[in-house]
Structure 1
Amino acid sequence: MDADAVRERAADLPTEPGVYQFLDGEQVLYVGKAVDLRSRVRSYADPRSRRIARMVDRAAEIDVAVTDTETQALLLEANMIKRHQPRYNVRLKDDKSYPLVQLTDHAVPRIEITRDPDEAATVYGPYTNRGEVETVVKALRETYGLRGCSDHKYSGRDRPCLDYEVGLCTAPCTGEISEEAYADDVESVRRFFEGETGVLATPLRQAMEQASQDKEFERAANLRDRLETVEQFHGEGGAAVSAEDDRGERAVDVLGVAVEGEDATVARLHSERGQLVDRERHTVAAPESGPDQIPRVLAAFVPQYYAERTLPDALLLPEHPDDPELAAWLDAEGVAVRVPGAGRESKLVDLALKNARRSGGRRDETGALKSALGIDAADRIEGFDVSHAQGKAVVGSDVTFVDGSRESDDYRRKKLDERNDDYANMQALVEWRARRAVEGRDDRPDPDLLLIDGGEGQLSAAHDALDEAGWDVPAVALAKDEELVITSDRTYDWPDDAPQLHLLQRVRDEAHRFAVQYHQTLRDDVSTALDDVPGIGPETRTRLLRRFGSVDGVRSASVDELRSVDGVGEQTAATIDERL
């Protein structure tokens, strides 16, 4: 729309409060609220920034909804932004995209990482780094033996499953542990997620020290890394909220904002009766820069976040949102809003700001990649690789990273036609993904960038697949030998310490790992590969897999390493070495 079209549309609008939308066909580009719809929409004839000017130019029409009050307009705008996620709005990226940990509502609770928790479950989170959550949950299961199986698999068992054999579960299903003792272990896990880090850190530290004394240095190093993750899991400042609030405010939320480029992180600390009981971080898209960016982020975050949640008694903020409608709504709801300058409350805001800045490293990488490649965004990346053995057992991997972290729920893999042609295999893999996206058969959002494991040939094959399917997504390749980043029109040789290169390397390496893992699964049948070895029974097979991780790990082990496994003698070790 040009300026004249905007003025013409504005002239038809009422002077009442309401919400307006700039639309491009079915796509919502921008949602805004107004005290006076006619005046507010008319202002877009002279946009305040180049980004908004591009949005207006792209829009085909403007739709409005009139409300009775300014407060209604505020809440309607928040709900519409959450529902449509318009590209040009400051918007909260729904915290459902982050992993949660749940303990199910069962006599023998299951521990599980999920994005869709059960209604009656005890839920912790959300957390921003799924890799850290996976490390912590595995450490908790190894320490306390909580089950990870579904209720269906739990019921009616007559012997423990493999999780019991490898030390991840204490097998309450078959009475290896009583329900009372299991409940004590569940309580320890609850205490950990409620902030008592020592519940897990202490046994890990003891195990690390014992492994070091036994000269099991690799295991000690692994435990050390796990201990570092556990100790950092809850962040800082558990003691910052320690005094009973003298204002009589039972629930207080403290918000901190860290802005970098077109992204922001809002950290929320929640205290009840003077005790910190919850911490979480949320990613916010903040497309416009400027000195008032933090107030704009707060003005957008607060109504979007609290529209469907219980408001606290007080909000402590680093700056005033500077939004009269928001202030009126919070005042009407009885929420005290303060920007403390000193004292205990000021320290709480400082703590929230530190929590907001904690996740800045990941955004550095995505922001650096976006700038280096000149693309609109790099928040969601899909990596592709192909693995085969001389054209046999050909498979492809499609892994997903969001905000620089693995999103394993969105991993996909594909068995491909058998042929010894890397370019044709890559083209088939990317075309499979592209056609599913174009035809609406893939439930994942479109990525901001595709990363191809390979060089110019693989990238050219990927571009052919994208053109054939009609899927408009940027694609680059990362060549292994010299770590060159290849695009359709140039090649980048970034420094080894470049943050954008580190991000692409992680995606590339994960795509390669996932492809090789699937290839080996097809090539090696675990039961027959080991069961065909004389002297290997079910128990010995389990010990071997537990010790070396996979059939491939057993295959690569030395005879001496094989003999170190209980039940494997010299002759059996030699037979394994010969057969595998």
Structure 2
Amino acid sequence: MNAEALSTRAGELPREPGVYQFREGETTIYVGKAVDIRDRVRSYADPRSARIRRMVDRADGLEVAVTDTETQALLLEANLIKRHQPRYNVRLKDDKSYPMVQLTDHPAPRIEITRDPDESATVFGPYTEMGRVETVVKALRETYGIRGCSDHKYSGRERPCLDHDLGLCTAPCTREIELEDYREDVSLVERFLEGETGILADPIEREMEVASQEQNFERAANLRDRLEAVEAFHGEGGEAVQSVGDERAVDILGVAIEGESGTVARLRAEDGKLIDRERHRLSAPDGPGGVSELLAAFLVQYYAERELPDAILLPEEHGDDEVGAWLEAEGVSVRVPGAGREAKLVELALKNARKNVGGRDACGMLADALGLDSAARIEGFDVSHAHGASAVGSNVAFEDGSPDKSGYRRKKLTDANDDYANMKTLLEWRATRAVEGRDDRPDPDLLLIDGGEGQLSAAREAISEAGWEVPVVALAKAEERVISADRSHSWPSDAAHLHLLQRVRDEAHRFAVQYHRTVRDDVSTVLDDVPGVGPETRKRLLGRFGSVENVREASREDLTSVSGIGERTAETIRSRL
């Protein structure tokens, strides 16, 4: 894209906060944020660095999205970087997307918190504090009765579920409320999410006053806390939040850069004592722009998903006005100390960062041993069943040697007493979702299969058929041998990189067995072993009550109302459960 074409395109853009994406064909290669989209995009006609100049030269398209606030632009930019992994952005390797609230496209819309919204849904956000979002969504459900159940659970119900009894849903599924009235309540929820705070704050305040007058002070206090969360919801990142008292929690950051990647070391001090140390890798193809750029990327991608400290100490200014405004609004003191104890802490963080860049940890040793560019992100797979029954698969993720539980997934499999076929099905599912862009997780550097050559062969066949190019190895438990496509590795039993694979393998096994027991106990043992309850009767029971737990709580009269359940069978079910 030449300078003239870019300047012409910029002149057509709005002068509002938002996000812009440079695209090469169908691929997003750079994402940026701006207080004024037109001015920011116009500046790319005269790029400020060689990396950005190369990006502009490659781009052949530009897309923009307007946001209500600068903070929303900041967070949307991070979400898009997470989703598209643009080549020319600095990217935190273990970053996460930010929560949004969506109302689904359905005759009776569902409200839910999501990091991967449906294309057809009405979406609000992104937001920085998951706890605050959860509090507000629960308050919306209690006030307006908007359902949170899946469409599968919604359809075919004969009576309301437990959410109705708890006051969280007005049960449009069984027409306890007419759809027209339900949609009016949904419209009120939309108005709140669009910025009308009083839609939710006013009824909570009235309820709080009633609780106080009735001297129900615990209830009044809970409502007060909820009201504070609701009133702060739309000011998230936009209203000043003053820190109270002395600084109790302080994070100290150090940065080291080598080639196309960098390391940020984070030290945590609480009450004046160091309590935690960790390191995070960031990548920037074609080379990072410098310490300030890495710091700005790390600050928003790391802290927007976590509880903020009272203060953050940096080795130099991060240089991003939007990030600075957000942290200031959240009451975080950001300092670059020049001398004294704080400066010594920053120097310690810098030493930690340089140590990670210059040395090889277990992930680096594993990459070297297998001839890989990186082994920072590993996904492990295992299957579990009982002689072919209740077959399930697990998919766990490790980032820089530690479990990334947000990346854990599990899947029910077609019952088959064939470990190879089950493993192939599990890997087909993972690979197909990755290739089709339906998995919101980044592609791993390495796949680890719990098993031997047979399971490895099945897994390799599955990912090859899907066209997913990710290295895969297996770890056979009997001899603790690592098996790759062309050889078997026998590493020393005390090798750090072998221990890393063993941790991934053991966690995949644990997660698979845990899920298998849940499926087996809930579906097979509890209902199938009840005399008089066959597959069709079980299906009617679950369709009528929604879950085994609800069957357990049902009265004899409720049970006998289900076709095929007589007095004797009802009594048997109650006694067995």
Given the two structures, how large is their TM-score scaled by the length of structure 2?
Answer: 0.48
Given the two structures, how large is their TM-score scaled by the length of structure 1?
Answer: 0.48
